[in-house]
Amino acid sequence: MEGNAKTITVGLFGLGTVGTGVVKVLEKRSGLIRNRLGYDVRLKTICVRNLDRAREVNTAKYKVTTNSEHILNDPEINVVVEAMGGIEPARSYIKEALEKGKHVVTANKALISKHGQELFELAAKNGVNLAFEASVCSSIPIIKGIRESFVANSISSISGIVNGTTNFILTKMTSEGRSYESALEEAQQKGFAEADPSFDVGGKDAAQKIAILAMLAFNTAVDPDTVYTEGIQDVTAEDIRFAGNWGYVIKLIALAKKADGNGEGIDMRVHPMLIAKKHPLASVEGELNAVYLNGDLVDGQMFYGKGAGQLPTASAVISDVIDVMKSVAVVRNFNSLPLIDINDLEFSYYLKIPVIDRPGVLYRIAKILATNGISVAELLQPGGKESVPLIIKTHRAKERMMRHAFNELNKLAVVKKGAVMIRIQD
């Protein structure tokens, strides 16, 4: 193989966590890749913001520069890896690289979820490839799965645990009964959560990822900022315990689903959900990620593994570096399917309503539920003193009606602060 190896000359933008991982993996695994695939992957140039910063890897054998043109104008570089993150200047560099006939690999979920359509169209126009496996759940080959392995399928739904930070926190709260705050603190100490965790715990990271998966599966561009998103900040260990008694775990689920029947839209959302313990996603613990999808030929399939971290992300990037040299499918013929309003969907619900324990309270709550057409499936009133939570599981009801009822309940003088409403995955 050695003599016939085809050379891939790489220019890398960014030498943070991901870029450094790419350098490390290429140093260690170039020989393996050459033997397995016949490609000689050679990193030539690295473009950084600051030449003086101390680096984890020895960069002496590469050209390290702050000038993007040293990559973009080098005719020898045929693959550009973008590992800078953020929208600009990453977007401009990628566009210029594609226009100059270079293949591009990126790990940038913010960029692909927001500007994927523009970049795919530019790649197609210039006859080059744009790959982004690392942008969703890093090492898990979910992009490859959807666009290659399941290319002959009509995909009806994708649901996943695509954020490791929140899954780590919820797992700790479940297995150790810890509070949200204490589990978050441990996630930060272990390096899973950022110093400002709001992007992860608020569900925005998951919304970007599900927007990318939906784009691939349904050929549609969805602005992640328009996806209905709730985070895990209000989930308590008590809710997790009650859900557990009824056979559920609570997970932050990102979901994209084609409209049932003849409708045209997509149901797309990110929020905490009660998942039956026997569902494959229920057993995904700690910082791990998983994506469960349904294709008409393959039925339900789950992809599972590490969704973040330097080496798992670099693993996906390097795989893409080889892939772009072959032909990878770019997303073509974009639709713009409307998002279905969550108010028009139906769920069963877990409700926790902290109330004063007095005669007639249950009657008033049941009346509000009944007036809104909501039927109670199970009811629990764990013993307490003056104030007790009423734990209710409802039958399926329209979100619009449930929200209306929930607002009404919260107005009752006997209902205290902290009522909770979490949807149940049937």
Residues that bind ligand HSE (CB under 6 A): 163-165, 200, 205, 307-308
CB 23 within 8 A of CB 59: yes
Nearer to ligand HSE (CB atom), residue 18 or residue 275: 18
Nearer to ligand HSE (CB atom), residue 128 or residue 270: 270
Sequence letter at residue 173: M
Q: Tell which residue, 273, 155, 160, 249, has the closest CA to residue 206.
A: 160
CB 252 within 8 A of CB 161: yes
Nearer to ligand HSE (CB atom), residue 160 or residue 307: 307
Distance CA 169, CA 24 (A): 30
Residue 390 beta carbon to ligand HSE: minimum distance, rounded to whole angstroms: 34
> DSSP per residue over 258-315, as a string?
EPSTT---EEEEEEEEEEETTSGGGG--TTEEEEEEEETTTEEEEEEEE--SHHHHHH
User: Which element (helix H / strand E) includes 393?
Assistant: strand 387-394
Distance CA 28, CA 33 (A): 10
Residue 308 beta carbon to ligand HSE: minimum distance, rounded to whole angstroms: 4
Residue 251 beta carbon to ligand HSE: minimum distance, rounded to whole angstroms: 13
Residue 110 beta carbon to ligand HSE: minimum distance, rounded to whole angstroms: 10
Residue 421 beta carbon to ligand HSE: minimum distance, rounded to whole angstroms: 25
Nearer to ligand HSE (CB atom), residue 128 or residue 235: 235
Q: Where are the alpha helices (DSSP H) in 334-422?
A: 361-371, 399-411
Sequence letter at residue 336: S
Distance CA 157, CA 155 (A): 6
Nearer to ligand HSE (CB atom), residue 200 or residue 399: 200
Distance CA 409, CA 420 (A): 11
> DSSP per residue over 108-126, as a string?
-HHHHHHHHHHHHHHHHHT
- Beta-sheet pairing, 63-65 with 228-229: unpaired
Annotation says 306 is catalytic:
no
Nearer to ligand HSE (CB atom), residue 167 or residue 394: 167
Nearer to ligand HSE (CB atom), residue 308 or residue 322: 308
Q: Token digits for 399?
A: 């979100």
Residue 145: φ, ψ to 5°? -60, -50
Residue 209 beta carbon to ligand HSE: minimum distance, rounded to whole angstroms: 7
Q: Tell which residue, 364, 193, 214, has the closest CA to residue 291.
A: 214
Q: Could you tell me which residues come within 8 angstroms of residue 118 by beta carbon, excluding any fewer than 6 positions away?
A: 95
Residue 320 beta carbon to ligand HSE: minimum distance, rounded to whole angstroms: 16
Catalytic residue among 172, 204, 209, 352: 209
Q: Active-site residues: which are they?
A: 209
